A and B are shown apart, each in its own frame.
Chain A
Amino acid sequence: MRILIAEDEPISRRLLAAALKKMGHDVVGAENGRAAWETLQREDIRLVIADWEMPEMTGLELVRKLREEAADRYIYAILLTSRGLKQDIVLGLEAGADDYVTKPFDRDELMVRIKAGERVTRLEAELAERNEQLRRMALVDGLTGIANRRSFDEDFSRQREHAKRFSRAFSVVMIDIDHFKLYNDSLGHEAGDGALRAVAQLLAGALRVSDKVYRYGGEEFVCILPETDAQGAVVVAERLRGAIEGAKIPHAGNKPSGVVTISVGVASHGADAAAGDEELLSRADQALYVAKSGGRNRVAAWSAESPVRS
């Protein structure tokens, strides 16, 4: 593995480097704690051996800084000390060091301590990977495989901040499958799940690369269309509607077409819109209501004249 040696004294540094290289490690050297810290900002290094006494920044200060500021990854830290005093060791470990080696170091001892460090860093890397997997899973809808409500909430607030800060337009599109309850009642929940999956895939396929569709809940979906004004959003929404209708998924209860269709509500945050973005979702919802009450299988864009859904 890649190991950083922070040691001001050149002979000790070279001896350490030679010993570590012999063990098959890749070694990076730094002349003091400050230089070591800078190297750690640039490079993905998970194990550091730091001398206690160094100019600019001591090993103890480096370890403290690692624990306070390098929270994105775990860096295993071994302090190198010529002081074998118990209170120093306690101080070092308290500051956040994982282990210590007394100088002049013994090669065999160093080897087993490095091995212990490798074990810890490997476990930590596995754990971080699992956590990342879980985090990704937490943002995915289990049934349809597209992004879920939680993911939408995160992206929506980010998009809103971005739009506000840079005065950019963006739109949200609220989608509801027409008479989905009838579909479930007549064909069963398993078929209903299949229809949800199919609709999710069709919607995802009909969007542009920068757009994203989320399962909002039940038979509702929502899309975020960055950098898209109301006019553009209606075009996209119409394409979504057409894609679902065109797939001709049988749905006898949905008159008059007899296939699965969606109603779509569009609301936009204009580049010049100062207020109203908090209401964007409820506006999309109101537009969806307009589309529904207007006969379904259609797109409606929010306007100030839209009736408020009670």
Chain B
Amino acid sequence: MLISSIQAVQIVQNISEHVQGNAALISIAEGTAIDIEELIAELNKNGIKFMGGIFPKVIHGSSILDKGIVINTLQNIESLFLVRNVSSKNFSIPEISFEANQDYSLFTYVDGLTSNISNYLEELYASYGMQTNYFGGGAGSLSLKQKPCVFCNDGFFEDAAVACVMKMKSSIGVKHGWNKVDGPFIVTKAEGNVIKEINWNDPFEVYKTVVENHSTQTFTDDNFFDIAKGYPFGIIKSDAEYIVRDPLMVNDNNELVCVGELEDNMLVDILNGDVDSLISASTQATKECMDKAQHPKKAIIIDCISRILFLENEFDTELSSITDAISSQYPDLSIGGALTLGEISSYGEGFLEFYNKTVVIGLFEYED
């Protein structure tokens, strides 16, 4: 459901009617002129359980919105919890007793601009393992200034994550469409989200050599992101999609500042893509997801904001390729989501990862 009102009382009434006693997943576009604290107070006053996040844009159907509130119902909740102090690793994950022969899905929003997100995901996996699917994204502002961006009944927070575990089957498709240009390279030194050395050399020089050669463009003082948005790094994994890392800028030490963390001695390729490869990837992700689903009731799309920054006007095509594919098979399915700062998925297999520049589609199934 999409809510355009910015009056807390009206919003809460709409949510209450929509979720009908269940919990609410609230995704708010950052352009929405709304007092979040007021909204939280009103939701609590009305006894509605909820979690949510603020995003650069939100998705409803086949539309991308700068303003608006997208509501999804969270059914069959086993647990809904808040994790604070993500960056300092000073938190614990609540215990859950998973029943045998029961499907579970965990949905989470995390402050996409905080550090140690990988550690948060590792702790989630260490606690819950293969007993649940994982799906979610990074919240935050496109300005890349960290501020409160995730919320739940306990309040509005930064450096935090909100999550809920539902008794619900889900199918997930994860693809990005970025392909290898050159590599492998070793990130011989990294600190947080900064690449300090590649193959024991100046990282920007190594990156620049490859990218300028492939793109036939030249880096200047003020065009780094304009070129780099088409040339992300990909962390190499066996039998799975690259984990993409977006270089954002070059700092004064010629080091590459990225979105998302990296570690010493990581193997990376330098990737490139185009409109066709990206859109093809989102179509594939949708297909993979639908092939695994049986009776989905809702779809949530978590698409990286940097894809729209790269695709620009063609992003509508990407979104339509996803929504058209879903609607053609499931015409009554509600589709909602957000453009995020990072994507979270288990892809149903193995360790939980924090992706960038990737599209993740989830189809959720439950009994009415």
| Chains A and B are bound partners | no
Which residues in B have some Cβ–Cβ distance to A below 8 Å? none
